[in-house]
Amino acid sequence: MTAPQFAAQCGIKYPTFASWLASAKRRQCDKATLQNRPTFLIAELDTTVETQHGADLEVRLPGGAVARIVSRDQLPLVVELLRQLA
């Protein structure tokens, strides 16, 4: 899949996606860090499913792990987890 096709699939304009990639390349990171972590994370929302008040939030991670958020108090923990994995 080409970069323009990927941007279209994600519902973003290609110039926006290209600027994100350029920004990521400008960041100063050593090669070992870049090899050991993903440089782009895809998040998708299923808008066809009706939600209920108080419904859990699930974050499915690569490798099959699932982080389930059942309380707002847990949200900062999942945010930090995603930052560490990114």
Instruction: Kindly report, residue by residue over 27-47, the tens digit of the pLDDT.
Output: 655 555 556 666 666 777 666
Q: What's residue 11's pLDDT?
A: 81
Same-domain status, 85 and 46: yes
List the structure tokens of 18.
């290209």
* Whether residues 64 and 77 fall in one domain: yes
Whether residue 17 sits in one domain with residue 29: yes
47, 25: one domain: no
Residue span of the structural domain in which 17 resides: 1-39
What's the whole-model pTM score? 0.38
Chain length of the chain: 86
- Spatial neighbors of 28 by CB under 8 A, at least 6 apart, are none
Q: Is the pLDDT of residue 4 over 60?
A: yes
How many domains is the chain built from?
Answer: 2
| pLDDT of residue 57 exceeding 60 | yes
Residues 24 and 49 in one domain: no
Q: Are 59 and 41 in contact (CB under 8 A)?
A: no
